[in-house]
Amino acid sequence: MADTKNQHRRHGLIQYANGKSLEEINGTVEVPHGKGFFRTLFAYSGPGALVAVGYMDPGNWSTSITGGQSFQYTLMTTILISSLIAMLLQYMAAKLGIVSQMDLAQAIRARTGKALGIILWIMTEFAIMATDIAEVIGAAIALNLLFHIPLVPSVFITVLDVLVLLLLTKIGFRKIEAIVAALICVILFVFAYQVALSHPNWGGVFLGLVPTQKAIAQSPVVGGISPLSGSLGIIGATVMPHNLYLHSAISQTRKLDHSKVEDIRQTVRFTAWDSNIQLTLAFFVNALLLIMGVAVFKYGAVKDSSFFGLYDALNNTSMLSNPLLIAVAKSGALSTLFAIALLASGQNSTITGTLTGQVIMEGFVHMKMPLWARRLVTRLISVIPVLMCVAMTGRETVIQQHTALNMLMENSQVFLAFALPFSMLPLLLMTNSEAEMGEFKNSAWVKVCGWISVIGLTFLNLYNLPATYEGFGLWKKGTSDFLAWLTIIVILVLLAWTCYEIVRGDRRMAAEHHKHSWEKGGVDEAAEAAKEAAENQK
């Protein structure tokens, strides 16, 4: 009977898991030692691409293009700063995984109690589902635009991407990395081509990279948004919590000997190179999106910033900025390339979202599901609000339907504001810890930049909550503000609880480490004394 129970435990759909992070691919990719820089970098390249996908998913598109349409190149500096913060946070996440041999979810759970672990798991699951809603909308609209499939069937077709995932799990992790990198190149090419045709003002582009107070000003208000709300939208769509969990897990896919410090140093170094290169590409994609808003379309021409509206604008020669763009637009190439890039972005996010879901489920609550089942459950849940939105706006005008879908995508991102501090703050505390990281703990400049980034992003996300709640349009202003401030208080209380348990858990682990070292030292001294006594007897 016991054997039967254990067999069921091993082969059931939901299983107990408390081993290595993403055990099936952990330490499976061979890397060279003592070889040239570029050959070694190639072996470590790949995880950064999976992470970079989250920084150019469909949720980023409308915020960047609308920011360009409304404020020209002013918000280029916001894209640059948020990309630099992303590089810093992803570096710390990857380093935590490599050095501690735990992903971020496992490391947090090792220091916190079961109750807090479940709360953090649920919160992060909502954040993943929020990003999945953006992917459903993006992929469904892309299918509608490319193949003229009605929206409702298109939404259901997106569920079938689980079959793509099943195929990918059979071909090996290295090939998955290559496919994701190829799709990123497709997205980059599409927007680079469209921007090149538009002949932007490159002087204005580079001037926009210089930080000024204009990027966070509350006026002018264009199309219902100010530069400040535009900047907050870009930051919220750029730095996302699930990427930190993902990177801390997939950074462990490279094979190394943890007993050799030099192996760890090499892995940390080349993983950082990989991450920064791929996130630089993500920065260029987001910058190109903003430049599109400025240079491809005439100023203020795009009234409908939804994916439908942007697709139509790329077909509408009266909205485009120069004769060359107009000539290409007549062939339908601009709009078709846009839809292809949208579909590629959605499929990329499918892969990374599923892996992240598995990481947080295993790390926080020690449960494991097959990747296809995990994807199917998440996608089906994410499909429900999209179908409800389509059904509720079925009798309204086309523009109203498009606007409703766009609002659903933007409002779903509010869960990212909830979850982001609960990944950033523990990550910073743990990578600052000498007990956990040893010689790989954060240097002084990383600590300073880390604290500025974490406090700044947390403040901006919470600061924007009242406006976000008002944007839902469900309550009066007084009720919206009350609910927003209640949410802020709950988040701050939970953050204080999380920090307390992280710090207490870190001290406990430091004491255990010290005790282990002392006992080991005592054993070594005893062995040395016994050896010396034996020599004296001889």
pLDDT, one tens digit per residue, over 284-311 is: 998 998 998 888 887 777 777 778 888 8
Q: For residues 27 and 253, give the distance between their C-alpha atoms in angstroms, rounded to a whole number.
A: 4
Q: For residues 468 and 411, give the distance between their C-alpha atoms in angstroms, rounded to a whole number.
A: 7
pLDDT score of 116 more than 80: yes
Lowest mean pLDDT among 229-233, 255-259, 288-292, 333-337: 229-233
Q: Which sign does the torsion angle of CA 460, 463, 469, 473 carry? A: negative
Token pair 């992303």 in the structure block, residue: 86
Strands (E), 394-530: none
| Mean pLDDT computed over every residue of the chain | 82
Please state, as a whole number, how many other Cβ atoms lie within 10 Å of the Cβ of residue 533. 9
pLDDT at 10: 46
Lowest mean pLDDT among 5-9, 147-151, 305-309, 479-483: 5-9
pLDDT score of 277 more than 90: yes
Question: Per residue in 410-421, pLDDT tens?
Answer: 777 667 767 888
Strands (E), 166-263: none
Q: What angle do CA 205, 208, 211 make, to 5 degrees?
A: 155
Tokens of 392: 């509720």
Q: With bands split at pLDDT 50, 70 and 90, how would you rate the model's confidence at 536? A: low
Q: For residues 205 and 209, give the distance between their C-alpha atoms in angstroms, rounded to a whole number.
A: 7
Q: Which residues contact 14 (CB under 8 A, 6 or more apart)?
A: 367, 368, 369
DSSP 21: T
pLDDT at 521: 58
Q: With bands split at pLDDT 50, 70 and 90, how would you rate the model's confidence at 263? A: very high
How buried is 298 (Cβ within 10 angstroms: 0-12 exposed, 13-18 middle, 19+ buried)?
middle
Q: For residues 311 and 297, give the distance between their C-alpha atoms in angstroms, rounded to a whole number.
A: 12
CATH 1.20.140.10 is held by the domain 33-424: no
**Could you state, in order of their start, the residue ranges of all structural domains in the chain?**
33-424
pLDDT at 3: 44
Token pair 């490391």 in the structure block, residue: 107
**8 A C-beta contact, residue 473 and residue 403:** no
pLDDT score of 526 more than 60: no
Residue from 341, 321, 345, 343 nearest 333 by CA: 341
Quick one: what percent of the chain has pLDDT higher than 70?
88
pLDDT at 523: 47
Tokens of 335: 């709009």
Q: For residues 433 and 107, give the distance between their C-alpha atoms in angstroms, rounded to a whole number.
A: 12
Report residue 239: phi and psi, to 5°.
-90, 110
pLDDT score of 2 more than 60: no
Model pTM greater than 0.85?
yes
Q: With bands split at pLDDT 50, 70 and 90, how would you rate the model's confidence at 475? A: confident
Question: Per residue in 3-35, pLDDT tens?
Answer: 444 443 444 667 777 778 888 888 888 998 888
Strand-pairing partners, residue 15, are 368
Token pair 């496992």 in the structure block, residue: 106
pLDDT top residue among 457 and 415: 457
Question: Per residue in 46-84, pLDDT tens?
Answer: 899 888 887 877 767 777 888 888 888 999 999 999 999
pLDDT score of 159 more than 80: no
Lowest mean pLDDT among 127-141, 155-169, 266-280, 290-304: 155-169
Q: For residues 22 and 39, give the distance between their C-alpha atoms in angstroms, rounded to a whole number.
A: 26
pLDDT score of 211 more than 80: yes
